[in-house]
Amino acid sequence: DAKTTQPTSMDCAEGRAANLPCNHSTISGNEYVYWYRQIHSQGPQYIIHGLKNNETNEMASLIITEDRKSSTLILPHATLRDTAVYYCIVNDYKLSFGAGTTVTVRA
Protein backbone atom coordinates (compact mmCIF):
# COMPACT_ATOMS: atom_id res chain seq x y z
CA ASP A 1 0.00 0.00 0.00
CA ALA A 2 1.48 3.31 -1.12
CA LYS A 3 0.96 5.81 1.66
CA THR A 4 2.65 8.66 -0.19
CA THR A 5 2.67 9.96 -3.74
CA GLN A 6 5.63 11.82 -5.19
CA PRO A 7 6.55 12.98 -8.70
CA THR A 8 8.87 10.57 -10.45
CA SER A 9 11.51 13.12 -11.25
CA MET A 10 12.35 16.79 -11.27
CA ASP A 11 15.18 19.02 -12.36
CA CYS A 12 16.34 22.15 -10.66
CA ALA A 13 19.03 24.73 -11.24
CA GLU A 14 22.06 24.97 -9.02
CA GLY A 15 21.70 27.78 -6.50
CA ARG A 16 17.91 27.88 -6.75
CA ALA A 17 15.43 26.52 -4.25
CA ALA A 18 14.10 23.04 -4.92
CA ASN A 19 10.53 22.36 -3.82
CA LEU A 20 9.64 18.67 -3.58
CA PRO A 21 5.94 17.87 -3.13
CA CYS A 22 4.46 14.83 -1.44
CA ASN A 23 0.86 13.75 -1.00
CA HIS A 24 -0.14 11.64 2.00
CA SER A 25 -3.90 11.96 2.11
CA THR A 26 -4.44 8.88 4.31
CA ILE A 27 -2.04 9.93 7.05
CA SER A 28 -3.28 9.25 10.57
CA GLY A 29 -3.05 11.59 13.52
CA ASN A 30 0.02 10.12 15.17
CA GLU A 31 2.08 9.48 12.04
CA TYR A 32 5.09 11.62 11.28
CA VAL A 33 6.20 12.72 7.82
CA TYR A 34 9.84 11.79 7.20
CA TRP A 35 12.13 12.76 4.36
CA TYR A 36 15.22 10.83 3.39
CA ARG A 37 17.46 10.95 0.38
CA GLN A 38 19.70 8.40 -1.23
CA ILE A 39 22.70 9.37 -3.25
CA HIS A 40 23.82 6.71 -5.70
CA SER A 41 25.33 3.62 -4.06
CA GLN A 42 25.01 4.98 -0.53
CA GLY A 43 22.70 4.34 2.39
CA PRO A 44 19.73 6.70 2.80
CA GLN A 45 20.40 9.96 4.62
CA TYR A 46 17.92 11.41 7.09
CA ILE A 47 16.85 14.95 6.15
CA ILE A 48 13.98 16.10 8.33
CA HIS A 49 10.70 15.03 9.89
CA GLY A 50 7.59 16.65 11.29
CA LEU A 51 4.17 15.97 12.72
CA LYS A 52 2.05 19.11 12.33
CA ASN A 53 4.26 22.16 12.44
CA ASN A 54 6.67 23.35 9.80
CA GLU A 55 10.24 22.39 10.55
CA THR A 56 13.63 23.72 9.51
CA ASN A 57 17.13 22.43 10.03
CA GLU A 58 20.52 22.95 8.45
CA MET A 59 19.61 20.83 5.44
CA ALA A 60 16.06 21.74 4.54
CA SER A 61 12.63 23.04 5.49
CA LEU A 62 9.48 20.97 5.74
CA ILE A 63 6.12 22.58 5.13
CA ILE A 64 3.10 20.51 6.18
CA THR A 65 -0.39 21.61 5.19
CA GLU A 66 -2.89 22.28 7.94
CA ASP A 67 -4.92 19.18 7.08
CA ARG A 68 -1.64 17.17 6.97
CA LYS A 69 -2.59 15.60 3.67
CA SER A 70 0.45 16.93 1.85
CA SER A 71 3.87 18.40 2.49
CA THR A 72 6.73 20.07 0.67
CA LEU A 73 10.42 19.64 1.25
CA ILE A 74 12.41 22.74 0.43
CA LEU A 75 16.12 22.68 -0.32
CA PRO A 76 16.86 26.41 -0.11
CA HIS A 77 19.94 26.56 -2.32
CA ALA A 78 20.38 23.40 -4.34
CA THR A 79 23.90 22.25 -5.15
CA LEU A 80 25.13 19.55 -7.49
CA ARG A 81 25.67 17.33 -4.45
CA ASP A 82 21.94 17.42 -3.76
CA THR A 83 21.33 15.23 -6.80
CA ALA A 84 19.69 12.12 -5.31
CA VAL A 85 16.47 10.16 -4.92
CA TYR A 86 14.28 11.81 -2.29
CA TYR A 87 11.82 9.73 -0.31
CA CYS A 88 8.79 11.06 1.53
CA ILE A 89 7.62 8.48 4.07
CA VAL A 90 4.78 8.44 6.53
CA ASN A 91 6.23 6.70 9.53
CA ASP A 92 4.26 4.04 11.26
CA TYR A 93 7.41 2.69 12.94
CA LYS A 94 8.49 0.76 9.88
CA LEU A 95 9.61 2.76 6.86
CA SER A 96 8.10 1.82 3.52
CA PHE A 97 10.23 3.16 0.71
CA GLY A 98 8.40 3.89 -2.53
CA ALA A 99 10.04 4.99 -5.74
CA GLY A 100 10.75 8.51 -4.50
CA THR A 101 11.56 11.55 -6.60
CA THR A 102 14.76 11.55 -8.61
CA VAL A 103 16.10 15.08 -8.29
CA THR A 104 18.76 16.24 -10.71
CA VAL A 105 20.48 19.52 -9.96
CA ARG A 106 21.95 21.08 -13.07
CA ALA A 107 24.71 23.65 -13.25
Strand partners, 101: 86
- Least Å distance between CB 95 and another protein? 6
Residue ranges in contact with another protein by CB under 8 A: 32, 34, 36, 38, 41-46, 49, 51, 87, 91, 93-100
- Least Å distance between CB 52 and another protein? 10
Indicate if the alpha-carbon torsion angle 47, 70, 15, 13 is positive or negative: positive
Task: Give 28's contacts (C-beta < 8 A, 6+ positions apart).
Answer: 92
- Least Å distance between CB 57 and another protein? 10
Closer to another protein by Cβ: residue 13 or 95 = 95
Closer to another protein by Cβ: residue 81 or 94 = 94
CA distances from 71 to 6, 42, 74, 81 (A): 10, 25, 10, 23
